Amino acid sequence: MRRTILSLIILTSVFTFTGCFDSNDNADTTNRLKNFIVYKAPTFSISIPNQWQTIEPKDFTSNIPKETQIIFRDNIQNSTFTTNANVTKRILSRATNSLNYGKEIMAENKQTLLNFREISRDEDFNIAIGGQMQKSLFVLFEGKENEVEPTIRIAQTYAVNSSDAYTVTVAYLPDTSDLQAETSKNIVKSFKVE
């Protein structure tokens, strides 16, 4: 557990969204969400599978970066890496929007991760911030922290609300099931800034 959370936190401290599910098919959206619960914080909400564990700031160990707002972890443990999600928040010193912030973080990701490979990028991804839709970046990529760690696939998006910049990350093994991969993407896409 410690290694899994440590890997998650290292990734989030390096990377530092508000999304909607595709609205074209309401029945499909309902099916995808039926096993999800909504976690509400004072400034954001995110949907997670109802069986996942929530790790709140009061339970963080001292090695968790202060930017981390919340951590979620799949209840199905894996000896190599356990699927997990987190939300981080940075305070910006200059004005930017969600799309540009995402591009900046992705440039950092490319420089930081070993064997970095971008799988897909959606620059027309819309997120909800204070009830308004805003363009952001939804990216699927993979890489590893160092030579001995496994390659991890990451779904990530970004949301800027005034000077608050959020990064939503879900990390999972590339050989995970299609259902697990889709669940991971849906977690990221569900993020909203209140």
Q: Find the domain containing 106 and state its range.
A: 2-193
pLDDT at 78: 79
Q: How many helices (H) and strands (E) does the chain have?
A: 4, 10
Residue by residue, pLDDT tens for the chain (194 residues) are 444 443 444 344 343 322 233 333 334 444 555 689 999 999 999 999 999 999 999 999 988 899 999 999 998 887 889 999 999 999 999 999 999 999 999 999 999 999 999 999 999 999 999 999 999 999 999 999 899 999 999 999 999 999 999 999 999 999 988 998 999 999 999 999 98
Tell me, what's the pLDDT at 35?
86
Instruction: Say if CB 156 and CB 15 are below 8 A apart.
Output: yes
pLDDT of residue 80: 85
Tokens of 149: 């760690």
Domains in the chain, number: 1
Q: Write the single-letter amino acid at 91.
A: I
pLDDT of residue 33: 55
Q: Within a 10 A sphere around the Cβ of 32, how many other Cβ atoms?
A: 19
CATH number of the domain that 43 lies in? 3.40.1000.10
Residue 73's DSSP bridge partners are 53, 84
- The pLDDT of residue 79 is 81
